[in-house]
Amino acid sequence: MSDQYGSPEPRTIRDATVDVLRGLGLTTVFANPGSTEVPFLTDLPTDLRFVLALHEGSVVGMATGWAVARDRPALVQLHTTAGLGNAVGALATARVNRAPLVVLVGQQDRRHLDLEPFLTGRLRDLAGSYPVRVEEPVTAQEVPAAVARAHHTAADARGPALVIVPMDDWSEPCDEERVHAAAGTVVRAQEADSSRLAGVAGLLDTAENPALVAGAGTDTEEGWAALTALAEHLGARVFQESFGARAGFPQDHPLYAGVLPADRPGLRDAFADHDVVLAAGAPVFRQYPYTSGPLVPAGTRVALLTDDPEEAYRSPVETAVVAPVASAVRGILERTARRTGPPRTRGGESSPAPPGENEPLSPSHVLAALAQRASPETVFVEETPSSRPEMHRLIPARRPLGFVSAAMGGLGFALPAATGIRMADPERPVIAVVGDGSSMYAVQALWSAARYSAGVLFVVLSNGGYAVMDRLAEQQGGTPSWPSFPDVSVAGVARELGCPAHCVDTYAGLVTELDEAVPHLEQRQQPLVLSVTVDAQGVFRP
């Protein structure tokens, strides 16, 4: 680039940082721009792609889907206090879902920060402990290396890493002698030290009836293959972690035993016949309501394989091994004796009969109809708390990335995440199953889905209220203090955001819409919202 007299313009910190981003493969920027980001975002080089979302929660949600689908960090830019504050819930979800993100956060001009001018952000601690790293470069020359360090940490710790950059830093001349260096490439071990697996292997060999627990940490082709081989080698039932972000085992396999209960009595019942339990890439054990007593029956011994040190430290297990999980599972298989015996078979799940002529649609009717039509390659993104148990029962994950949800439990994930997944992996069909209440937390993501031709099928189960909250209130012996909202039209909002939408209130109409849309999802360029009216009483009762 040259100035008006033909002389080369000095290389800036922005130029140096863009080179770092290129080298790291961070060339898609998910953002909702603000004034403190203008110096970076204006006139982006043509090889950097800007992806706009209309709220920061959707920005981070789309980037989370992108990172999960591609299994590598995605790049986000947020606008000082307002942007980072709006995104904190989504960043928490990214951390618990273990999605690697590099997050640039804009800050006011460094030259008068001490006076706290308008839009100054108190940013370092705003997201609490959810970032895996927070970089706040002391000088502009540190920015490129800070971005590289954030990338490496996000990839290793599997979460969002923040870099706070004052707006004037981008235009600072790059002093090549003062720009700090960071590792260009970090090579990560892919194999576990097999000698450290002997204790876990020995534990399994002593078991009369071992069980396995799969989690999001084995939701890769390699992880599924390794855990399937170990389960068949041991003849062991495989449970899915509760409230998991992803499915860690093929849920149509004869040894699949279903999703673990999220309460202690339920866990003890599930493990009643098992003397050894090995969790692979899953927490030990995720709970929701507090209930008394031990997690597992007396005498049941528990071990853990994980690549997350924090998960290892907090888990009440006999032995925890921190290592690449798929490799560790293979090492366990090599060190354990094969068990002979009759294979276990899992009974098929019965689908509900279609509703009668005057019978309202239930979520089960919708989920069963989807299950009958969706291909094994379909990615199902879930955010329907009142219907999640039925979704697990009726729609098994048959391929890695077949099921994706927000392990954090916060709403506003599915619409942007499904959009990001489809953008990152346009070869796979994507169906998001969302409650109408959940959809309102990030409904603006539908604009981005339409704008960027993300051909997701969004199936909104519309019961006109917060059904799971109503059931919880009833469980407490009371009545809800909050109103329902049957007057809210998700389809109407979607259409105003440029996303095609149809309303469905009969089984015949549902079948017609699904038969038209589902077979063509792989080729679909345009998103579609199906707002399906379902009976509020026909939902999960906790």
Q: What is the pLDDT of residues 393-406, one digit of tens each?
A: 999 999 999 999 99
Q: Please compute the mean of the pLDDT values over residues 251-265 and round it to a whole number.
A: 94
Residue-level pLDDT at 542: 42
Apex 243 CA angle, 57 and 320, nearest 5: 110
Q: Please compute the mean of the pLDDT values over residues 30-49 and round it to a whole number.
A: 94
Task: Examine the pLDDT at 190 and tell me if it is beyond 90.
Answer: no
Q: Name the pLDDT band for 541 (thresholds 50, 70, 90).
A: very low
pLDDT tens digit sequence for 441-473: 999 999 999 999 999 999 999 987 777 777 777
DSSP secondary structure letter of residue 290: -
Residue-level pLDDT at 478: 83
Residue-level pLDDT at 535: 85
Q: Please compute the mean of the pLDDT values over residues 39-46 and round it to a whole number.
A: 94
Q: Name the pLDDT band for 10 (thresholds 50, 70, 90).
A: confident
As a CATH number, domain 194-335 is: 3.40.50.1220
Task: Examine the pLDDT at 138 and tell me if it is beyond 90.
Answer: yes
Task: Examine the pLDDT at 214 and tell me if it is beyond 80.
Answer: yes
Phi-psi region of 44 (alpha: psi -120 to 50; beta: other; left: phi over 0): beta
Which 3-state string (H, E, C) describes 375-397? CCCCEEEEECHHHHHHHHHHCCC
Task: Examine the pLDDT at 177 and tell me if it is beyond 80.
Answer: no
Q: Please compute the mean of the pLDDT values over residues 352-365 and round it to a whole number.
A: 87
Task: Examine the pLDDT at 123 and tell me if it is beyond 80.
Answer: yes
Residue-level pLDDT at 345: 60
Q: Please state whether the peptide bond connecting residue 285 to the residue before it is cis, i.e. omega within 30 degrees of 0.
A: yes
Q: Parse the chain into domains and list their residue ranges.
A: 13-171, 194-335, 363-533
Q: Name the pLDDT band for 180 (thresholds 50, 70, 90).
A: low
Sheet holding 133-135, edge to edge: 49-52, 28-31, 74-78, 101-107, 160-166, 133-135
Task: Examine the pLDDT at 5 and tell me if it is beyond 70.
Answer: no
What size, in residues, is the chain? 542
Q: Please compute the mean of the pLDDT values over residues 517-530 and round it to a whole number.
A: 95
SS3 313: helix
Q: Which residue has the higher pLDDT, 476 or 307?
A: 307
Task: Examine the pLDDT at 503 and tell me if it is beyond 60.
Answer: yes
Residue-level pLDDT at 4: 55
Compute CA distances 46 → 27, 50, 179, whole Å. 10, 10, 25
Residue-level pLDDT at 292: 87
pLDDT tens digit sequence for 315-355: 899 989 999 999 999 999 999 999 876 566 666 667 788 88
Q: Name the pLDDT band for 185 (thresholds 50, 70, 90).
A: low
Residue 408, both tokens:
């954090």
Compute CA distances 126 → 15, 88, 280, whole Å. 28, 8, 33
Q: Do domains 13-171 and 363-533 have the same CATH topology?
A: yes
Q: Please compute the mean of the pLDDT values over residues 23-30 and round it to a whole number.
A: 96
Mean pLDDT of the chain: 90
Looking at domain 13-171, what is its CATH homologous superfamily?
Answer: Thiamin diphosphate (ThDP)-binding fold, Pyr/PP domains (3.40.50.970)
User: Cα dihedral sign for 389, 506, 480, 58?
Assistant: positive
Looking at domain 363-533, what is its CATH homologous superfamily?
Answer: Thiamin diphosphate (ThDP)-binding fold, Pyr/PP domains (3.40.50.970)
Residue-level pLDDT at 511: 95
User: Looking at this protein, which amino acid is placed at residue 153?
Assistant: T
Q: Please compute the mean of the pLDDT values over residues 43-54 and round it to a whole number.
A: 95
Residue-level pLDDT at 348: 60
Q: Which residue has the higher pLDDT, 499 or 538?
A: 499
Q: Please compute the mean of the pLDDT values over residues 191-204 and round it to a whole number.
A: 84
